[in-house]
Structure 1
């Protein structure tokens, strides 16, 4: 049986502000609808992705900005970072972890710049949406077997 991740729910405080932010980044709007019960759903998809994000009104009880560590996989982290910055995102400088392994919490193990050998899975940059939901860019050029 295949299990495909297609949608991630993001908790946001202001739906229109979030919609404008992600639209400004060039994410495709797939839906924006409301129901008579007051539910509003906005769905956007990052360029090249099979998975989308949704946010809206009366969609989740999670605190706005509470999502961490959503990964966007890129083949050229410097180019991806530059494009996001050009589109208005406040993206961190590129970094890698001191021991070559991504640590989910904290920044104390981060070293400025891309991984010296430009290894796949080892160079990162990050940004947040206006509510603080965190995104991580991760460079992958050559995938590990089975990926």
Structure 2
């Protein structure tokens, strides 16, 4: 049986500011933003990912303090290009560091406005072999 990780709750203090950060600065797709008498929730997904983040005010989202999630990890085919895209959009990203010359050993990081931190790992193989094939993404918008 396959077990897939599809949602990670990210604790934030200001939903609007966080949507703007993840959508407009980091480049995640806003899948939905639901506001009703029971909840205010947004789901955002990095392009090419099968896993989304969810932010909002449900009990599972308010049990963690905003900014307390550390070390979420994204993977890109080219760390230098990805870092420059974030910097161009106004994200304060750390320098690219090569811990190991083999594929997967290059990283940089950034934090959201609340202090939740992200590591970005370079896996060059993702340029040729994305986890979600381009044909599927083009057809279904994933």
What is the TM-score when the length of structure 2 is the normalising length? 0.81
SS at match of 2:55: strand
Residue equivalent to 1:120: 103
Residues 1-147 of structure 1: matches in 2 within 5 Å? 1-24=1-24, 25-37=26-38, 39-58=39-58, 59-97=61-99, 100=100, 117=101, 119-142=102-125
> Which protein shows a greater Rg?
1
- Whole-Å Cα distance in 1 between the matches of residues 84 and 37 of structure 2? 42
Give the count of matched residue pairs. 124
Alpha-carbon distance between aligned partners in 1 of 2:57 and 2:106, rounded to the nearest angstrom: 35
4+ residue runs over 2 A deviation: none
**Shift, 1:46, TM fit:** 0.9
Give the alignment's TM-score, normalised by structure 1. Answer: 0.78
Q: Find the residue that maps to 1:81 and give its secondary structure.
A: helix
Runs (5+) with no aligned partner, structure 2 = 132-142
Paired with 1:69 and 1:63, the residues of 2 have a C-alpha distance of 15
Unaligned runs of 5+ in 1: 101-116
**Using the alignment, how far apart are the partners of 2:20 and 2:67 within structure 1?**
16
The alignment's C-alpha RMSD in Å is 1.6
User: How far is the alpha carbon of 1:141 from its aligned partner?
Assistant: 2.1
Q: Once the 2 structures are TM-superposed, how far is the Cα of residue 84 of structure 1 from its aligned partner?
A: 1.1
